[in-house]
Amino acid sequence: MEYVPVLKTENQSAKSSDKPTGSTFSPEAFLLSQQMSQQQALQKNSGDEIDLSELWRAIWSGKLTIIAISFIFAVASIAFALSKPDIYKASVLLSPASSEGAGGMGGLAGQLGGLASLAGVSLGGGGTDKTALALEIIKSRAFLENFIAKHELLVPIMASKKWERANDSLVIDDALYDTASKKWLRKVSAPKKPEPSPWESYQSLLKLLTVTQDKDTLLVTISIDFYSPTLAKQWLIWLVADVNNFMREQDEQEAQASIDYLTKQLNNTEVSAMEVVFYQLIEEQTKSMMLIKVNAEYVLKTLDPAQVPDIKDSPKRALIVLLGSILGSIFSILLVLVRYSSHKKSTA
C-alpha cells in the first residue's frame, strides 16, 4: 500500500494549534474554580444564618398564640401550686452525750482492760462510736417499724392528706381509710393489701425523716417534714427518746451479762489475787450500770429542742408558678417558630 502525504493548509494548522490539549491544565483556571467554590460556600452559609429580623417578625406574628399558651401554662401552674398541701419541717439539734457511763463489754475493755487481761478474761475491743450507731439505728427498718407500731402512726403516715390550721387537726383521706369503722379502703393490686404493710409504712416514714451530722462540730440535726407541725414536733420528741432508751437498754443488757460472767468466773477461781481483780471488775461495771439507768439522754443530748414551726417549708408556690410560666413561654415560642418555618417551606 502506497503512502500518500496529506497537506494541511495554513488556516487549518493555525486552528489546530489554538485548541487546548487534555494533558495540560492552566493555573488561572484552577484559581478561578477555587474562587467560584468559595463564593458558593459563602452564599450557602449566608442562607443558613439566622436572620434576627425575620425571627422577630415570626415571633411578633404569633404573639397571640404565645400569650394564650403562656397564660394557660401560668393558670395551670397556679392551680397545681394551690392544690399541693403545706408541708412543715420540725427539727431538733443534738450533741453526742458523754460516754463515761458506757456499759457492756466495750465499757469494760475501755476502763479495765489491764485488769481483765490479768484475770484471763477477753472483753473485746475498745469502745464504739455510739453516736454513729444511734444515727444508723434511727434509720433502720426494725427500729422505725417498732416506732410506728408503738405510737400508732400508721394512719397519720399512710392516710393523711392535709392539715387544718383552724382546729389543729389532721385530715384523713376517706378514699384510703374510714375513720368511723377504722377500716382501710385503699385500692391496690396484689400482693399488696388495703392495710399498708410494715415495709410500706417504714418507707413512707423514712422519706419524711432527715438525719445529718456536722463533720466538724459532730452536732446532729434530725428533722421531720409533715402536714401537721404539731405532730412533726411530737414525733421528733418520741424519736429522740426512743433511740436513747434503745441504746440504754442494749448497754444495760450487755453490762448485766458482763456482771453475770464475771460473777461466774469469780465463783470458779481459787486464787485470792484473782478474786480481788474480779471484785474490782464487778464493782466498776456495777457503777457503769447505775450511770446507764439514771442518764435519760444516754447517747444524744438535746441542745435545741423541737418546736412547732409557724412557717411552711414547702411547696414553693411562687417558684412553681414562675417555672411553669417560663416553660409555657418557651414552648409557645418554639411552636410559633416551627409553624412559621413549615409555612415558609411550603410557600417556597
Number of other residues whose CB lies within 10 A of the CB of residue 40 = 10
Question: Which grid coordinates are listed for 261?
Answer: 460472767
| 135 close to 222: Cβ distance less than 8 angstroms | no
Separation CA 334–CA 125 (nearest Å): 67
Give me the DSSP letters along 95-130.
Answer: EEPP-TT--HHHHHHHHHHHHHHHTT----SS---H
- Tens digit of pLDDT for each residue in 264-316? 877 887 777 777 777 788 887 787 777 777 778 888 999 999 999 989 998 89
- Tally of residues, the chain: 348
How sure is the predictor about 340, in pLDDT bands with cuts at 50, 70 and 90? confident
pTM higher than 0.75: no
pLDDT for residue 233: 95
Lowest-pLDDT range of 6-10, 144-148, 247-251, 315-319: 6-10
pLDDT for residue 4: 45
β-strands 177-178, 169-172 pairing? unpaired
pLDDT for residue 147: 96
Residue appearing with cell numbers 422519706: 207
Lowest-pLDDT range of 54-68, 105-119, 217-231: 105-119
What mean pLDDT, rounded, does the chain reach?
80
pLDDT for residue 45: 53
Please state the rounded mean pLDDT for residues 226-234.
94
Q: Is 310 exposed, middle or buried (0-12, 13-18, 19+ CB in 10 A)?
A: exposed
Separation CA 59–CA 57 (nearest Å): 5
pLDDT for residue 342: 85
Closest CA to 302 of 222, 234, 199, 196: 222
Lowest-pLDDT range of 15-19, 31-35, 180-184, 263-267: 15-19
pLDDT for residue 39: 67
Please state the rounded mean pLDDT for residues 199-203.
94
Please state the rounded mean pLDDT for residues 177-196.
90
Residue appearing with cell numbers 435519760: 296
pLDDT for residue 117: 52
pLDDT for residue 29: 67
Please state the rounded mean pLDDT for residues 325-333.
93
Closest CA to 258 of 148, 91, 110: 110
Please state the rounded mean pLDDT for residues 50-54.
73
Instruction: Using CA atoms of 317, 321, 324, 328 in order, give the dihedral in degrees to the nearest 10.
Output: 170
pLDDT(322) > 50 = yes
User: Which region holds residue 320: left if phi is over 0, alpha if psi is between -120 and 50, else beta?
Assistant: alpha
Give me the DSSP letters along 273-336.
Answer: HHHHHHHHHHHHHHHHHHHHHH-SSSSEEEEE-----SS--B--HHHHHHHHHHHHHHHHHHHH
Separation CA 144–CA 127 (nearest Å): 25
pLDDT for residue 277: 77
Separation CA 76–CA 314 (nearest Å): 18
Lowest-pLDDT range of 43-47, 127-131, 159-163, 169-173: 43-47
Give me the DSSP letters along 189-237.
Answer: -TT--SSPPHHHHHHHHHHHEEEEE-TTT--EEEEEEES-HHHHHHHHH
Looking at residue 87, what DSSP letter applies? B
Measured between alpha carbons, how far apart are the two ends of the chain, in Å?
Answer: 70
Q: Which of 29-43, 112-126, 230-244 has the highest mean pLDDT?
A: 230-244
Q: Quick one: what percent of the chain has pLDDT higher than 70?
A: 77
Separation CA 250–CA 246 (nearest Å): 6
